[in-house]
Structure 1
């Protein structure tokens, strides 16, 4: 009887070949509408990956087909959640607090000149409520350092820190630098040691540490000539910069704000950890309380917590938690329901960009299709 039940459960953890093909055909139809180069998608139900597949190409130049298991993408801003997860591990160990002053953590004054007495905390950085912006750029910390940039004030908005939300990449490049300063370990290596390796995931922030034959090429769409343009800068190794890297100073070379490279399948496995409040099987990355805090909105307007966002708009009637990413023509989405234990990952390496309710329209359509066909 026990063997029969186990066998029955095993059959329930994947979808039938017929249904899988129907879903793939439907995904292809949506992708065609947006002229997508390629789309990788993974569906998790009851904590198990029940479907994974890809359509289209990894490379337009070589016509290599996109493979959901093999190919890795620079996933853009979903990367922020890895940075926040690593810092929250240090919060758990009481090495730092979310209320710590970023001036102390970064090593130079982090103060909005219009509110010089108001400290800007780590929590504000991770929730985009710091009043910091990207007006000066975010590829170097010098842009906001008063001793390095005479125009540092431009990096701050007019409102008081902690009172409003504005998405800001500089927040998370600083957060990555803070991680290095606290651990004395190179950012990419720390993420690998503390998150990727324990979960058995292949990926990382350092190009030279990865197999470059697995990179899915990224393409931005040129509307004027209706063509996709290869974006090689997405995988710029910056090898010389890394050789001369200074811990806690030149951390943006790894892009803690957007530079994780990982497959759709391994991203789904990472998602399962967050879906289970910090645990995946026997591996514990975060405590339940800490993980829930990451998923709890701080900004009512945007539903943003600590590098994870709550939304009711992506799938009508469904409360989801996750993040999106967009860079170099790539658009990624990772969303899950921690109560009912399902989640969906969709990544495209290039498509015609349209938005619906704040989400990339193609990804939103595919997510709704996958939910209706495989979850609902």
Structure 2
């Protein structure tokens, strides 16, 4: 029996070594065939992190990318905000059907539909009828006392009866988390999600090790060059000096400002894959996790900061989110039933698309699926 177990171990080790070598070779070829600065990836299989790697540059031509490097992951950040909301709902501090006007402290109402309440659920699912036409870096954009053009943030359709992806939705969500938890937004997420799961990262750039930040680059097709985006990790010390709890929250960007490594993002993904239970802690209930993963619209397949797709890998149903900002592109997608998933992050690439996804991201995910999961 012992001899048989040894043989099985060696076979498994051999398979993994071969898969690692093939994956690195194929990802390297992918990066060489397109314009890519750096690529950090992670694979979860059978509910466990089985592979992680980093290729290319953290700083162009100077510093190689490492798996421990941090990225501002853009809109995948929204799921951290939604997870926080579900925790507060479970504590009965909030309800998904609460009127946002009551929660936020000023009138949030589509003037074309004055009888229709805009709810917290609508913010989380992008069905609020809001848009980003007045910006989203401050709540002044939608506050009628601060912006005479605030009516422009509302679309022509009735709240709850249409879909438009809107970053302002989630900067408002972050503010609501702050008001009803009594904790500053960045500190809430760290204390209630990151720390229990044993993850390094956060929304507050000044509290993180800046030597671990992967420089983000916008790619210029005209010059075929990568242009650094220092604003991605800009300090918030000045804004914090006059910070107003329950209003200044957008400076942390609940909609896109999480900084984390690919392996730690994969460990966070495992929590959602296991319907709220991470490797080290239970973060939300199964009911809450299922609610986040269940699409509210058959047209958009978007739930609460997570959506379903079968186009990232053709014909394979996955749940997750993408991100794009400052030249970065990211993806976190998983199958909660078969217990596998992928994280792919690039700190800069040619933003060519394929099947509605950034080509480099989509092709990298397919490489990981073919080498580690596909029967």
How many residues end up aligned between the 2 structures?
Answer: 374
Give me the whole-angstrom Cα distance separating, in 2, the residues matched to 1:3 and 1:296: 47
CA contact (8 A) 1:14 1:51 kept: no
Does residue 263 of the first structure (1) align with residue 261 of the second (2)? yes
Which position in structure 2 is the counterpart of 1:140? 138
Alignment of 1:19 onto 2:19: yes
Equivalent in the alignment of 1:31: 31
Q: What residue is the counterpart of 2:44 in the other structure?
A: 44
Q: What TM-score, normalized by structure 1, do the two folds share? A: 0.96
For 1:11 and 1:190, how far apart are their aligned partners in 2? 45
Aligned residue runs from structure 1 range 164-203, under 5 A: 164-203=162-201
Deviations 1:81-137, CA, capped at 9 Å, x for gaps: 000000010111111110000000100000001011110000000000000000000
* TM-score normalised per structure 2: 0.96
1:207-250 CA distance string (max 9 Å, x none): 11000000000000111111100000000012110232111101
* SS class of match (2:295): coil
Q: Which residue of 1 aligns with 2:64?
A: 65
1:167-207 C-alpha deviation (Å, 9 max, x unpaired): 00000000000001101111000000000000000000001
- Which stretch shifts more, 124-133 or 221-230? 221-230
1:364 to 362, 365, 375: 362
Cross-structure match for 1:55: 55
Shift of 1:34: 2.1
Structure 2: 5+ residue stretches without partners: none
Query: Matches of residues 225-244 of structure 1 in structure 2 within 5 Å?
Result: 225-244=223-242
Is the deviation greater in 41-50 or in 325-334?
41-50
Question: Relative to structure 1, is the Cα distance of residues 2 and 158 closer, same or farther in structure 2, using a 3 angstrom cutoff?
Answer: farther
Q: Secondary structure at the match of 2:296?
A: coil
SS for the counterpart of 1:67 is coil
Q: Name the CA distance, whole Å, in 2 between partners of 1:273 and 1:14.
A: 29
Q: Give the distance between the partners of 2:7 and 2:291, measured in 1 at CA.
A: 37
1:121 aligned residue: 119
Change (3 A) 1:8 1:317: same
Q: Could you list the runs of 5+ residues in structure 1 that have no partner in the other structure?
A: none
Matched residues in 1 for 2:94 and 2:87: separation?
9
Match of 2:287 in 1: 289
User: Paired residue for 1:307?
Assistant: 305
Is 2:88 aligned against 1:90? Answer: yes
User: Given that residues 15 and 50 in structure 1 are in contact (C-alpha distance below 8 angstroms), is that contact kept between their aligned partners in structure 2?
Assistant: no
Cα distance in structure 2, aligned partners of 1:144 and 1:13: 56
Secondary structure class of the residue paired with 1:57? strand
Contact 2:47 2:339 in 1 (8 A): yes
- 4+ residue runs of structure 1 moved beyond 2 angstroms? 1-19
* CA distance in 2 between partners of 1:82 and 1:8 (Å): 39
Change (3 A) 1:17 1:139: same
8 Å Cα contact 1:15-1:51 kept in structure 2:
no
Q: Is the 8 A contact 1:44 1:343 kept in 2?
A: yes
Structure 2 equivalent of residue 131 of structure 1: 129
Shift of 1:283: 1.1
Kept after mapping to 2: 8 A contact 1:13/1:49: no
> What do residues 35-72 of structure 1 show as CA deviations (whole Å, max 9, x unaligned)?
100000001100111111011000016x111011x200
| Cα deviation code 1:129-151 (max 9, x no counterpart) | 00000000000101101111100
Equivalent in the alignment of 1:220: 218
Separation in structure 2 between the aligned mates of residue 375 and residue 354 of structure 1, nearest angstrom: 26
Matched position secondary structure for 2:96: coil
Looking at structure 1, the residues matched to 3 and 195 of structure 2 have their Cα atoms a distance apart, in angstroms, of 32
Aligned partners of 2:270 and 2:279 also within 8 Å: no
Equivalent-residue separation in structure 1 for 2:47 and 2:231 (angstroms): 35
> Do the aligned residues in 2 keep the contact of 1:13 with 1:50 (CA within 8 Å)?
no
Q: Please tell me whether the aligned partners of residues 73 and 261 of structure 1 are also in contact (alpha carbons under 8 angstroms).
A: yes
**3-state DSSP class of the match of 1:134?**
coil
Q: Tell me, what secondary structure is at the counterpart of 1:165?
A: coil
Note closer, same or farther for the CA distance 1:203–1:9 as it changes in structure 2 (3 Å cut): farther
Residues 136 and 313 (structure 1), Cα distance of their counterparts in 2 relative to 1, 3 Å cut:
same
